[in-house]
Amino acid sequence: MRIEIPFAVRQILEKLGQSGYEGYIVGGCVRDMLLGRSPEDWDITTSARPEQVKELFKRTIDTGIQHGTVTVMMDHVGYEVTTYRVDGTYSDGRHPDQVVFTPSLIEDLKRRDFTINAMAYSPAAGLVDEFQGQEDLRAGIIRCVGNPAERFSEDALRMLRAIRFSAQLGFEIDPKTLEAIRLLAANLEKVSRERVQVELTKLLMSANPQRMSLVYDTGLAPFVGEAFGGLGETGWRPSLSGGLPVKKPLRWAAFLREAGPEQARKILKGLMLDNDTISRTETLVRFWAVPLSEKKPDIRRGMSVMGAELFGDLLDLKEGLAGSKETEEAKTEEIRRIRLLKDEILADGDCLSLKDLALTGRDVMEETELRGPLVGQCLNRLLQLVLEDPKRNQREYLLQSLREFSIIE
Ligand code: ATP
Ligand code: MG
């Protein structure tokens, strides 16, 4: 394998081994190592019980002790060490009713969702691949461990995970696994919206976001939510968002752009997305099709209203959606010119918000009789003058303008 196991992880495995227990890295990190990708995190599975793990290591945290997970701290980095377990039955299709520990690694691997996620490795024992995970990894196939219908009945989220992994890795879903998704799609309704959202977000942030079409084709979409399912009928065009920067609001906006801002907000709220992502996405959906001016004062106004970063995201979205057709090339050029102007505005440090204005609320109150919300309104008028021409952001000029306002009113 080309990827190195971190030293701390080796130490944990060694310590377990020296104490008479088995210890392996398992799941996503083994899959990613075999693919030559750097794993996000290193999960360890062991025959040792949680109490035994806690005895072996100086610093541990009871992260999910009821599920057998202890976090072992090594040099301020935490590694999850989980006892071999079988998940028992899922009578609600959501949570295992009880977690039962087992002395058998193979039993633990059997409960895992897909063959490519059901491999374990240790430097001492080598690779344990009981379900032909390597073969599926080579062939690019997402396949359930065991009977797909049973596995999806235990935990319906796995159906969405199958599509998410297929999008991340560019893999195909095995026909039997796919068939079981079509059959059991309605079970997704039982899963918590947060878990559904996490998978959909990962899907959209992947290298193949257009695979969202599978969520519709398999019949899962209506069970994500009514409004979400409804997007399928209005002609969701999946082919466009692959080259976009990997940012949550951008990817969600590309997907929801035809829905309109209100509907987009409703869908994301239903999926329990955080408020910041919701409001950014809503803004992008509102403006993605609105033509932008190439005049600097207009660009400053745009940057001032939505914030410089989101304005940049809007340009990225517009460019990403403009595509490569000849008719669209002029549009792409225009966006690039606007981006250059935006960068110039940032480099010059032009004032874009009240906090950069050369006059404060206190100044306004000292100079005028204005109080309360009128002070803010007044500052906003001054900001508008400065957005028009940044050279105006000088105390003397703004005080003069302030006096002129007061005379008129
Ligand atoms: P990622 O790169 O997204 O972290 P991962 O494979 O590590 O991918 P996790 O959700 O972190 O996915 O889960 C770690 C491992 O736990 C998986 O590889 C799989 O073996 C197992 N697993 C996670 N969720 C489920 C599930 N719903 N059903 C069965 N096994 C699961
Ligand atoms: Mg993981």
344-366 pLDDT per residue, tens: 999 999 999 999 999 999 999 99
Cα 345 to middle of ligand 2, angstroms: 41
Cα 26 to middle of ligand 2, angstroms: 10
**Residue of 35, 41, 117, 197 best suited for mutating to test ligand 1, as the one with most atoms within 8 Å of CB:** 117
239 has pLDDT over 60: no
Cα 158 to middle of ligand 1, angstroms: 9
273 vs 329 pLDDT, higher one: 273
Using an 8 Å Cβ cutoff, are 317 and 254 in contact?
Answer: yes
Q: CATH number, domain at 64?
A: 3.30.460.10
pLDDT of 266-316, one tens digit each? 999 999 999 999 999 999 999 999 999 999 999 999 999 999 999 999 999
pTM: 0.92
End position of a domain, from candidates 84, 100, 135? 135
Q: Which atom of ligand 1 is nearest to the CA of 161?
A: 27
Q: Smallest Cα–Cα separation from 36: which of 10, 4, 6?
A: 4
Q: In the structure, which protein residues have their CB atom closer than 6 angstroms to any atom of ligand 1?
A: 27-28, 40, 43, 112-113, 117-118, 155, 157-158
Which DSSP string do the residues of 283-338 spell out, in sequence order? Answer: HHHHHTTS-----HHHHHHHHHHH-HHHHHHHHHHHHHHH-S-HHHHHHHHHHHHH
Using an 8 Å Cβ cutoff, are 107 and 128 in contact?
Answer: no
177 vs 236 pLDDT, higher one: 177
Least confident piece of the model among 16-30, 182-196, 322-336: 322-336
pLDDT of 211-223, one tens digit each? 999 999 999 999 9
Q: How many CB atoms lie within 10 A of CB 196?
A: 23
Q: Is the dihedral of CA 204, 210, 211, 215 positive or negative?
A: positive
Kindly state whether residue 227 falls inside one of the protein's structural domains: no
Predicted local confidence at residue 234, as pLDDT? 59
Which DSSP string do the residues of 45-98 spell out, in sequence order? Answer: EESS-HHHHHHH-SSEEEEEGGGTEEEEEETTEEEEEEE-EE----TTSSS-S-
Q: What residues does 142 pair with on adjacent strands?
A: 173
Which ligand neighbours the alpha carbon of 86 most closely?
1
Predicted local confidence at residue 353, as pLDDT? 97
**For residue 238, what pLDDT band results from cuts at 50, 70 and 90?**
very low
Mean pLDDT over residues 61-68, rounded?
Answer: 90
Predicted local confidence at residue 302, as pLDDT? 97
Ligand 1, atom 17: closest residue by C-alpha: 27
End position of a domain, from candidates 91, 114, 135? 135
Cα 11 to middle of ligand 1, angstroms: 23
**Residue of 112, 128, 159 best suited for mutating to test ligand 1, as the one with most atoms within 8 Å of CB:** 112
Ligand 1, atom 24: closest residue by C-alpha: 113
Which ligand neighbours the alpha carbon of 203 most closely?
1
Q: Which atom of ligand 1 is nearest to the CA of 87?
A: 29
Range of the structural domain that residue 61 is part of: 1-135
Q: Could you give the number of structural domains in the chain?
A: 2
Residue type present at position 2? R
Q: Which atom of ligand 1 is nearest to the CA of 154?
A: 28
Cα 27 to middle of ligand 2, angstroms: 8
Kindly state whether residue 330 falls inside one of the protein's structural domains: no
For the record, the structure tokens of 23 come out as: 């210890």
The mean pLDDT value of the chain amounts to 93
Mean pLDDT over residues 157-166, rounded?
Answer: 98
Kindly state whether residue 375 falls inside one of the protein's structural domains: yes
Q: How far apart are CA 102 and CA 106, in angstroms?
A: 9
Kindly state whether residue 329 falls inside one of the protein's structural domains: no
Which ligand neighbours the alpha carbon of 113 most closely?
1
Kindly state whether residue 322 falls inside one of the protein's structural domains: no
Mean pLDDT over residues 122-136, rounded?
Answer: 97
Kindly state whether residue 44 falls inside one of the protein's structural domains: yes
End position of a domain, from candidates 135, 168, 189? 135
Mean pLDDT over residues 21-37, rounded?
Answer: 97
Kindly state whether residue 295 falls inside one of the protein's structural domains: no
Mean pLDDT over residues 46-55, rounded?
Answer: 97
Which ligand neighbours the alpha carbon of 168 most closely?
1
User: For the chain, what percent of residues have pLDDT higher than 90?
Assistant: 85
Kindly state whether residue 265 falls inside one of the protein's structural domains: no
